[in-house]
Structure 1
Amino acid sequence: MQLSDLKISTRIAAIAAVSIAGMLALAAIFVTDQSIRSDYAAVIDSARDAERVTQRIEVDFLQARRAEKDFFLRRTEADIAKHAAVRARLADAFQNLSDRLQAGGLSQLAGEAEAVRRSFTRYGELFEQAAAVNRSLGLDENSGLQGALRTAVHDLEAELSEVGNPSLQVMMLMLRRHEKDFILRGDLKYVERLNAQASDLASVGPAAFGSVQTRNAVLADLAIYTSNFAGYAEAMAAEAALRKELSAVFAEVEPLFQTILSGVAATRVDAEAASAAASSFALKIVLALAALLTLIIAATVLVVGRSIATPISVTAAAMRDFAAGDMTARVPDGARKDEIGDMVKALLSFRRSEEQKRAMIAERQEAERLGLEQRRSAEIDAAETARQAFIAGIAPAFRALSEGDLTARLDRARMAGFEEICDLYNQSVATLEETVGGVVNAVGSIRMGLGEITTASNDLAHRTEQQAASLEQTVAALSVVTQAVNETAESAGKAQRVASDARGKAQKGGEVVGKAVAAMGQIEHSSEKINSIISVIDEIAFQTNLLALNAGVEAARAGEAGKGFAVVAQEVRGLAQRSAEAAKEIKTLIATSREQVGTGVELVTASGKSLEEIVTEVSAMAEVISTIASSAREQATSLREVSGAADQMDKVTQQNAAMVEEATAASQSLAKDADALDQLTGRFRTRVEPVRQTRLSRSRPVAPKSPVIQMRQTGRGSAAPARNTAPQNEGWEEF
Structure 2
Amino acid sequence: MTQINSQNDMGGNGAVAAKTLFGNFKIAQRVSAIVILGVAAMAVFGGIQIYGQSMTAKAVKSNTDYNTLALGSQEIQSQSLQMRRAEKDFLLRRDMKYAEAYKNNVSKLTAVLDAVRKEHVADAKAETLTRLEGAVKAHAKQFAMVVAQIQELGLDEKAGLQGKLRGAVHAVETTLNEANLDGLTVKMLMMRRHEKDFMLRGAEKYIDSVAKRRAEFLTMLPAMPLSDRAKAEVTNLLDVYVTAFNAFAKLSVENEAAISELSAIYKIVTPAVEELVVFGEQGAKRALVTVDETQTSMGWLMLIGSVVIFVVFVAIGAAVAMSITRPVKAVTKATETLAEGDWNIQIPALENKDEIGAVARALQVFKENLIKTKDLEEAQRQEQVRQVERAQKLATITTTFDATVSEVLGVVSSASTELQATATSMRGTAETTTRQSSSVAAACEQTATNVQTVATATEELTASVREITQQMARSSQKAGQAVTEADQVQGKVDGLVEAAQAIGQVVELINEIAEKTNLLSLNATIEA
- When the two structures are superposed, what TM-score results if normalisation uses the length of structure 1? 0.35
Task: Say which structure, 1 or 2, has more relative contact order (CA 8 Å, 6+ apart).
Answer: 2
Q: Higher helix proportion, which one?
A: 2
